[in-house]
Structures are given as C-alpha cells and as structure tokens.
Structure 1
Amino acid sequence: MHRAIHHPSHRKHQRGVALFVVIIFVMLSMLLALWASRTSLFNELVVGNDADYQRAFEAAQSLLQDAELDIRNQKADGTGCVGVGDICRTSTAEKIPLDITERDLLLAELGQKPTGCGNGLCTKRTGKLDFWNDTTALNAMMPPTATTGARYGQFTGAGKGSISNPVNPLLQWDIATPANQGGWYWIEVLRYDESSKNSGVIVGSGAKNLLRMNLGGNTSPNLVYRITALAYGRKQGTQVVLQQTYAPQKTID
C-alpha cells in the first residue's frame, strides 16, 4: 500500500513562475501598444504638417495670381478693374504706373518710405532679399498699423468670404487680422534695361527664334515686376514664400 505524498510548497512555486511569465507578456503587450500609439501619433503629426504646408503653398500661389491681376488692373474675373477705395487702387496714392512720368513719380515716392514699400508696391530691395528669414525685417514689411504689404483681394476685389464662411481660411482677412496670419504680397517695381532695345540677345528684329519683349515702347514704362508672396498656415511655424518675375507685354496692333 502506497501513500500519496503532497508537496504544497512546490506547487506554490510553480504558480509563482506562471504569474511571472504572465506579467512579462502583459508588459510586452503594453510596450507594443505604446509603441504603436506613438508611431500612429507621429505619422499623424507628419501628415498634418504636410497638409498644412500644402494649404499654405496653394494660398501663396493665389497671392501671386492676385498680384498679377493687380499689376494688370483687372478684377479676379479678368475684367477691367472698376471700384472704390482700395479696390482697383482708386483712392490709394500708390498706383501701377501707366507711363514713364507715373513710373518716375512712383519710384521717387516709394524711395522716401523707410521700407521702400507702400500698399504692396516697392522699389528694388537693397537689403536682405530673403527678408522673411529675418524677424526684424519681416515685422517692418508687414506692421499691423501700416500699409506696406497687400492682402489677398485688397486691390482686385477678389472674393474672400466672411469670417464665419471664408472661401479660403488662410486668405480671409479683415482689419483686425494679426499681421502674422493669412498672407501678404509685395511687388517690386524694377526698371527694365533700356539698352536691350539695341541688343540681339532678347530683342532681335531679324531673328525668328528670339523673344521680343514688347514692354511698352517710347511712352509706356519698361518695367519688370518681382512679386513676393508669403502665406502662413493654420499651424504655428508653417510659412510658405514664393517669388516670381512678371513682365507684362503690350499687345502689338
């Protein structure tokens, strides 16, 4: 006859090892869940930042187009500009020059201003060309109480919507909009080198493959415009700057 011998301490020891293994697996599961959560959050931040940059980029492109319309004295629909106040620059001192006299008067007036700019029109910049990377220079170019830069639709009448129902939240603005929100553009009025009329590099009367720059003739100002558009995103730190050179040409009758 055999008697069963029980070892209670050994069984308790076995249950302790199993509990330890379970705890290890739970901790590993928690670490995996935490890693997945942080990875998902990081991906969301990356996608969100990229989306905000793309929105700001499109807003800056719209500002460039608005500046071109301003130069051509057209509304957003391409028709001739007729308006009051800032629209079509009806009551502003700074206007797009239509002849040599207006050009010289405009450049002389802008040259007297501290930044060389007024209502979005500027002389050729002599300081840092990338002024948007210098906080002091940028604040001087778009102070909240001065008319140095131009807002979207300010001189073309392009529709912005309202605060509650904006067409584009990045371009909607009013007098209370902070300077570091929305977007701005500046148009540098640059004299075109008159010697090009006698050069065969750009203007070639006898060469078919050369580009003829019909910038105005003897009475209209030969000007090229450099447009700088700056747009802020919805997130702090998102900023897009685009520049282009625009040379409007006169139609030959």
Structure 2
Amino acid sequence: MFIVIVFVMLSMLLALWASRTALFNELVVGNDADYQRAAEAAQALIQDAELDIRGEKSDGSLCIGPPCRAYSGKSDMLQFPGDTQEINPLIMQLEAEPTRCKYGLCARRVGRQDFWNYATEATQVVPSANPNVGEVPLYASSADGVALTAKGIGARYGEFTGAVNTADAGQLNPILTETEAGKGGWYWIEIMRYSDAARSANLVVDAKTSTLALNLDVYVIYRITALAVGRKPGSTVVLQETYARQRLKD
C-alpha cells in the first residue's frame, strides 16, 4: 500500500509539473505572438507615414481627396513644406505648440530622444528637475492633459492616407483599428532642416568615404517614429527611421 501511495504522489507531481510547463510555454508563445503583432503594426505605421509624406494613398496613387491633408477640410491642418520658403514658418509654428507636434507633424525634439519611455506625468524624467522643452508624456493623466497620443497630435494608421485594416486589404491587425485612448498605434514625423554643407554638395556623407546622392525638392529630412501598443499590458514596439523624399527623375 505504501508503494502504491508513493507512485500515486509521484504521478501527481509529474502531472502538476507537466501542466505548469505547458502553461509557461503557452504564456511565452502568447507574449511572442503579441510582440510580433505589435511589430507588424509599427511597420505598417512607418509605411503609412511615408505615404503621408509623399502625398499618396494606400494604393500608391496620388492623394487628391479626403482624408489626405490638403483635402481634410480643417483650416488649421498643417502641410508638408512644398518649397524652401515654407520650411521655417512651419517649424516655427510647430515649435509654438505645447507638444511641438500637431496632426502627426513635429518640430525636431530637443529633449530626451526616447520620448516613448515618458509614459505619463508621473514617470520620472532624467534629470527630474527642469525638463527640456518638449518633454510631453505619451498619455495624459487627466481628460484635459497634454499628451503626444492625443487626438490631433499623433497620427493614427490611415488617418491621412485612407489605409484600412481589413482582411480584404490583405491585412488584419487589431492594433491598427484601435481608437481608444492609450491603445493602438501612432506615428510622429519630425521635420528637420537639411545641413547647409550637405545641401551645397547635394550629398549625405558619413564619417568615412561613403556618399549618397540625393535629388530633393525641399531640403528637409523627416524622422518618423512609430509606436504600437500590444494587446497585453506592457507590450510596446517602437520603430524609427529617417526618410528623405526624393524627386523622381524622368
């Protein structure tokens, strides 16, 4: 009888170990799947921002109607600079905004570059005293708080390109359809003046010998930051790229 009881207890321990292992593996797979979903959403937001800069719809055609910026119907809607004379007024207007951003367009950040780690006003800013201009949290702690993810500050997927997230469109990512505060994804496009030295040579030159010839209409560089919040708490993906819009040659 004693031997039987021992074997029963060992069997119970093995069953418990197997169930906990299976649960742990399920958690790992679930977390990884959520991360991959958020990463795909962030990549889609990057591509959507590029279309926004080029003034194209999601199918690559020229944007000549709503919801594109020029046809939004909003009198305060900001446009990408169309010539050199429009660069400085646009940047000055953005710098005057409390968030230094409006409708997804931003002045170059002068504070912390990893702004996505400044979640709310309660998040510690380093240095904590006298934060730099432009230190605005991602999410507002109150309904009237200032935040980078607020409506009219950050841009949502398809907001200015008409891109849709449906199975018919070849994609179905629930993160891209979220519109609730603090959920989904956003992108911000920083407008940065082009270097005068590089402009005179029409080149981007690295510290060694590599050069990249550019054919720019307007001498500005865009830094795109896309952030996607996963379905699980604490799951967030941030992607960032520098984009130079070039004029296509005949």
| Residue 197 (structure 1) aligns with | 199
The correspondence of residues 164-183 of structure 1 with structure 2, limited to 5 A, is 167-173=172-178, 177-183=179-185
For structure 1, the residue ranges without an aligned partner over 5 or more in a row are 1-18, 204-208
Q: Aligned partner of 2:138: which letter?
A: L
**Aligned-partner SS, 2:157:** coil
Runs of 4+ in 1 over 4 A off after TM superposition: none
Q: Aligned partner of 2:87: which letter?
A: R
Q: Aligned partner of 1:138: which letter?
A: L
**Aligned-partner SS, 2:138:** helix
Asked if 2 retains the 8 angstrom alpha-carbon contact of 1:161 and 1:172, the reply is no
| Residue 113 (structure 1) aligns with | 97
TM-score, length-scaled by structure 2: 0.81
| Residue 75 (structure 1) aligns with | 57
State the Cα distance separating 1:197 from its structure 2 match.
3.4
The correspondence of residues 117-156 of structure 1 with structure 2, limited to 5 A, is 117-136=101-120, 137-139=137-139, 140-143=147-150, 146-156=151-161
Asked if 2 retains the 8 angstrom alpha-carbon contact of 1:214 and 1:250, the reply is yes
Asked if 2 retains the 8 angstrom alpha-carbon contact of 1:150 and 1:185, the reply is yes
Separation in 2 of the partners of 1:247 and 1:151?
21
Q: Is residue 87 of structure 2 the alignment partner of residue 87 of structure 1?
A: no
Q: Aligned partner of 2:188: which letter?
A: W
State the Cα distance separating 1:201 from its structure 2 match.
6.4
Q: Aligned partner of 1:212: which letter?
A: A
- 1:69-91: CA deviation from partner (whole Å, max 9, x where unpaired): 0000000111000223x434423
Asked if 2 retains the 8 angstrom alpha-carbon contact of 1:194 and 1:222, the reply is no
Asked if 1 retains the 8 angstrom alpha-carbon contact of 2:203 and 2:213, the reply is no
| Residue 61 (structure 1) aligns with | 43
- Could you say if the C-alpha distance between residues 197 and 111 of structure 1 is closer, same or farther in structure 2, counting changes exceeding 3 Å? closer
Asked if 1 retains the 8 angstrom alpha-carbon contact of 2:202 and 2:214, the reply is no
- Could you say if the C-alpha distance between residues 112 and 238 of structure 1 is closer, same or farther in structure 2, counting changes exceeding 3 Å? same
| Residue 11 (structure 1) aligns with | none
For structure 2, the residue ranges without an aligned partner over 5 or more in a row are 121-136, 140-146
**Counterpart pick for 2:2 among 20, 29, 41:** 20
- 1:182-209: CA deviation from partner (whole Å, max 9, x where unpaired): 1100000011112213459647xxxxx8
**Aligned-partner SS, 1:170:** helix
Asked if 1 retains the 8 angstrom alpha-carbon contact of 2:199 and 2:219, the reply is no
Which structure has more helix as a fraction of its residues? 1
The correspondence of residues 219-238 of structure 1 with structure 2, limited to 5 A, is 221-238=218-235
| Residue 31 (structure 1) aligns with | 13
Question: Which protein shows a greater Rg?
Answer: 1
- 1:192-236: CA deviation from partner (whole Å, max 9, x where unpaired): 112213459647xxxxx84212122xxxx2011000000111112
Asked if 2 retains the 8 angstrom alpha-carbon contact of 1:89 and 1:155, the reply is no
**Aligned-partner SS, 1:66:** helix
TM-score, length-scaled by structure 1: 0.80
**Aligned-partner SS, 2:177:** coil
| Residue 216 (structure 2) aligns with | 215
Q: Aligned partner of 2:33: which letter?
A: A
State the Cα distance separating 1:169 from its structure 2 match.
1.1
Q: Aligned partner of 1:185: which letter?
A: Y
- 1:27-69: CA deviation from partner (whole Å, max 9, x where unpaired): 1100000000000000010011001100110010000000000
State the Cα distance separating 1:102 from its structure 2 match.
2.3
**Aligned-partner SS, 2:116:** helix
Count of residue pairs the alignment pairs up? 217
**Aligned-partner SS, 1:190:** strand
